[in-house]
Structures are given as C-alpha cells and as structure tokens.
Structure 1
Amino acid sequence: MLSKPKILITGANGFIGGALSAKLISTPLWKESIFLIRSSTPEEGLMRLANTLRKHGVRTDQLLTLGLHQIICGDLNVVNRWIDDPRLRSIENVVSSAAIASFGNHPSIWPTNVDGVLNMAHGLSHRCKLRRFIHIGTAMACGANAPSPVPEGYDGGQETIHFLEYTHSKHEVERRLKEELPDLPLVIARPSIVVGHTKLGCSASGSIFWVFRMALALKAFPCRIDQKIDVIPVDYCADAIFLLLTKPKLKYDFYHISAGQKSSSSFAQIDASIAKAMNRPPIKGYQQKSYEQIVQMRDQFTSLLGACNRRIVAKAIKTYGSFSTLEMAFDNKRMLSEGMKG
C-alpha cells in the first residue's frame, strides 16, 4: 500500500531542488514525497526527475524507487490545472524551490516567482493542514545597500536597491506571502551563492562556477583577488534545507544558508582550489579592473573563454562583479544554532 504523500517539492529539476531530492531518496521520507514537474505526462516527468537525480549521484537501484505516483505534472504558471490533485490533501510540508533565475528581464520571472508561488501557497493553505512551508529565496534579495554582514531576518523594505529583477521578485514574494497569508507556517531560507558539489564537482550543474572560470581566464574582475565572497556547495545547501524540513521545532522563520564571515572564501582561495583540481599553477597577473575596462576586452572573450555569448558574459561581469566588490557576507548564526555545521 502506497504511503499518503506528506511532502511536496517544487523545483526538483533545478540545482538546489535536485540536490535536496537526491538527499531525500536515501531516507524514509522519500516514500512520502511528491514532486511538481513541468511535463505533459507522468512518464515524461519521471524521466526528467530521474535524469536530474542521476546527475546528483543517485544510484540506479535508488532510481528504481521513484514511481509515477510521485509525479504531479504542471508548473507554477498553471497552478489551477493541478492544485485540485487529490494527492495534495495529505501534504503537511512544502519546499518551494521552483523559480526562474535569470540575469536579464525574462518575461516569466514575475509570473513564476511571485504570482505562481502565491497561487500555490493560497491553494495549498485552503486544501491542506500545513506544518511547514519552506520558501527558497536568495541571500542577494537583501539588496546592494544592505549592511555587511547581512543579519538574518534583514529586510530593507521599499528602500532596497535590487541587483536584478530575479532578486527583486524573490524579495517581493516573501513580502506578499507574509502579507496575504499571515497564518501560513512560512519559513524563509535564503542561500548565498551556490556553486558546485563537494564530491561531484560541477557534474550536476556548472551554474555560477563558470563566472569564476571566466574571471580567472580573463585574469581580471572588479574585485581584488583577496576580497571574500560568501559561497557554499549545493550539497551543504541541501543538508541545511533537509534540517529545516525535518527538525520538529525551529527557533526562527528566516534563515541564511551561507558560509558567513568565518567561512567565506577569497577569490585567491577559490583559484587555488580550481588550480589544484585542474592540475595547474595558481593564477598570476590578476588585475582588478572596472566593468567598463573589462568590457573593452570583449574582442578577446572568444580567444580567452572559447565560444560564448559576449552579451551574457558582460551581464555576468556587471552583476557578479558589482556584488563581489561589496565583500558581502550573510550571517548564519541562526542556521548554526539549529545544529547545522559551519
């Protein structure tokens, strides 16, 4: 007899959601978990999720425990098409990880990250007796004018200077979840910059890691090479979300999943790790250059970086370059107080 589902995961095919799902599959909670997957059939959804889990190191024998009954076909843009699925009635815990993450003004950012999440939260709050609704945001939703280290629970409100439409949307949906659903058992988890995996490297996703590779190939970035950046591996992030999901009682409703001031890494340390992995010497000749100076090197982008979209490269330099000069760290005392290792 199949267990009644108690956990709903959205964004399981994403980087963070995939890492969390890969952790869940080796626990008893797996049998109680269902996944919202963008697909036209359960079979297609199962295949997509299995491919993601495989990239996160899940063994074939474990993948065989994934069943069609665990797949809900749909996405956040069409909540009305799946919110009445009878399997959702027994859901107690939600991990809201699905989102559109983009450097640009992608037309789906606000419909998905704000309207979609809100529609889902409203729908589930009327159909389920929720114990915990964990919304995965981003630490960069604090804005460029936040203090450093950024305190957990910090909200600059309307004065927030947003880095991107993506970070703006994440800030907005948190505000509206609190405002529109005051009784929702909301827990906000804001990961810092998530790059790679401690054991699998970038096999699951090269997301953001390519920005470091790009800066090192150009031997230039807007920050000094000794400046620090708050970066964590995706399996650490998944471990933290799992703790927030499973701990019987939490002390707070807002957490940073971050390295914090103590464990943030300098670009020199990041380069040393990359150099060791690639069996090459550490970088020499690095120069701190402004965004405008680096863009003047665009004719060299292809020769230094290989085939690339120069517009996207420039946008990444502007976004992460601006962020890196702030040397911003995200306080993680709350997460550590819950038992997470630093």
Structure 2
Amino acid sequence: MRNVLITGATGFLGGAALSYILKEKSECQLLLLTRGESTKHAVMRVNENLRKFQLAETLINRISSDNILLGDLTAPDFFLEDCRLNAITDVINCAHITSSGNNPFIWTGYVEGMLRFVDRMSQAPSLRHFLHIESAGLGVSASECGLDNKPGFSNYENVIAQCSWANSLIEQRIIECYPELPLMRIVPSTGIEQTELGNSICRHLNLP
C-alpha cells in the first residue's frame, strides 16, 4: 500500500495531482497537509478546489477528516509530530506561499518551515519519493497569491520573482543538507492540462 502525502491540495498543482489520484489510483492512501480552522473546514476547502477539476461528487466525498493533516508550512510545529507521517511512502510537494505583502519575514518563515518539513520527512522510514513541483508562475495569479495592490509588489513579475527565489533557495538547501533524500523535481509547462499534469506526477512516483 502506498501512503501519499500531498501539500498544496487546495491549489492548482495539488488539486490536479489529487483529482488524478482519486480517479485513477484508488488503492493509494491519502494524507493532505491543509490549512483550516478545523479538520472539517479543511475538508471543505479541499472539496471546493476539487470541484474546479470537474471531479464526480462520489470521488470528492472520499475525502474525509481522516485524510487531513491540519497545518501550515509557516507554522510547522503544529503538525510535524503527527505519527501518520512515519508511514508516508511518497510526498507530492505542491505547496507555495499564498500571501506576503511587503513583509520579508513571511517569506523567510515559509522557507524555514518547508525545510523543517523536509527534515521531518527525511526521517520517515518508509519514504520512497519526495517529489517537489515547481509552482512559480504556473496556474497562480497575483490576486490568488494575495500580492496584488500591496506595497512592495507593483506587478505580477515581482510575485513570480519572489516565488522563484523561495523555490530556488529551498531546492538548494535540500540538496546541500539532505543528500540522501529521494528527491525528484518536476517543472510543469505553462498551460499544461490538469490530466496530463496528474498523469506525469503519478508516472514519476510509479504509483500502482
């Protein structure tokens, strides 16, 4: 049995991966790192996103509170001790920062939180793959990131520059600090269709 942890399941990348797995890979056990006021609220957020992918309600209803790892990468202490992480075989890391304004400490917190998450998953005894999906500029609008019309971010290009900086720093630190991590990386093409993206992710992980 493959136990798959997906971050960013309420966004385009994570939603595409999750919807494809629900349709095509029914034998996978799923755990979704998701923000929310409660697990019930987190399920609602995931389900709302899945409907954007025109997924059948019978498949959407497979997501329950049992599939939720409630937490936020900018505050990892809340979820890193969850014992379910020990059983994870595959990580699909689709998370990207969703707010910033002109506060650089939010970006720093995101990078540090992500690295602590990587450190925790590197200790999971069953981990086979850690798939990091580059998200900068793909399916993410400035308004969706919460960065439009805010001081210090005058246009969409600045948003992408910040996303790229964070991703590059994370990848560099992972390679330097965790050389034994079974890391893989996907940089999806702009305009890639959700089914093609989901299929590509599952191919990389060799999910049954």
**Do the structures match in fold with TM over 0.5?**
yes
Residue-by-residue CA offset, 1:66-123 (whole Å, 9 max, x unaligned): 22100111010111111111211110100111112679756433422x2222110101
State the one-letter code of the partner of 1:246. Answer: N
2:92 is the alignment partner of 1:95: yes
Asked if structure 2 preserves the Cα contact closer than 8 Å seen for 1:96 and 1:117, the reply is: no
Aligned with 1:237 (options 168, 188, 197): 197
Q: How many residues were matched structurally?
A: 185
Runs of 4+ in 1 over 6 A off after TM superposition: none
Aligned residue runs from structure 1 range 1-342, under 5 A: 6-29=3-26, 31-100=28-97, 107=104, 108-112=106-110, 114-138=111-135, 164-193=161-190, 195=191, 232-246=192-206
Aligned residue in 2 for 1:278: none
Instruction: Give the Cα–Cα distance (whole angstroms) in 1 for the partners of residues 9 and 45 of structure 2.
Output: 10
Cα distance, 1:58–1:38 mapped onto 2, change above 3 Å: same
Residue-by-residue CA offset, 1:194-227 (whole Å, 9 max, x unaligned): x4xxxxxxxxxxxxxxxxxxxxxxxxxxxxxxxx
State the one-letter code of the partner of 1:63. Answer: I
Cα distance, 1:83–1:32 mapped onto 2, change above 3 Å: same
What residue ranges of structure 2 are gaps of 5+ in the alignment? 138-159
Instruction: Give the Cα–Cα distance (whole angstroms) in 2 for the partners of residues 109 and 189 of structure 1.
Output: 22
State the one-letter code of the partner of 1:192. Answer: S
Instruction: Give the Cα–Cα distance (whole angstroms) in 1 for the partners of residues 15 and 129 of structure 2.
Output: 20
State the one-letter code of the partner of 2:109. Answer: P
Greater relative contact order, per chain length (Cα 8 Å cut-off, separation 6+) = 2
Aligned residue in 1 for 2:156: none
Residue-by-residue CA offset, 1:123-164 (whole Å, 9 max, x unaligned): 121243310000111588xxxxxxxxxxxxxxxxxxxxxx61
Asked if structure 1 preserves the Cα contact closer than 8 Å seen for 2:8 and 2:95, the reply is: yes
Instruction: Give the Cα–Cα distance (whole angstroms) in 2 for the partners of residues 76 and 53 of structure 1.
Output: 21
Shift of 1:236: 2.1
Asked if structure 2 preserves the Cα contact closer than 8 Å seen for 1:34 and 1:72, the reply is: yes
Shift of 1:42: 1.1
State the one-letter code of the partner of 2:107. Answer: I
- TM-score, scaled relative to structure 2: 0.79
What residue ranges of structure 1 are gaps of 5+ in the alignment? 141-162, 196-231, 249-342
Cα distance, 1:20–1:85 mapped onto 2, change above 3 Å: same
Asked if structure 2 preserves the Cα contact closer than 8 Å seen for 1:24 and 1:30, the reply is: no
Residue-by-residue CA offset, 1:7-37 (whole Å, 9 max, x unaligned): 1000000111111111111234465111011
Instruction: Give the Cα–Cα distance (whole angstroms) in 2 for the partners of residues 73 and 96 of structure 1.
Output: 15
- TM-score, scaled relative to structure 1: 0.50
CA RMSD of aligned residues (A): 2.4
Cα distance, 1:179–1:29 mapped onto 2, change above 3 Å: farther
State the one-letter code of the partner of 2:121. Answer: L
Asked if structure 2 preserves the Cα contact closer than 8 Å seen for 1:104 and 1:164, the reply is: no
Cα distance, 1:77–1:22 mapped onto 2, change above 3 Å: same
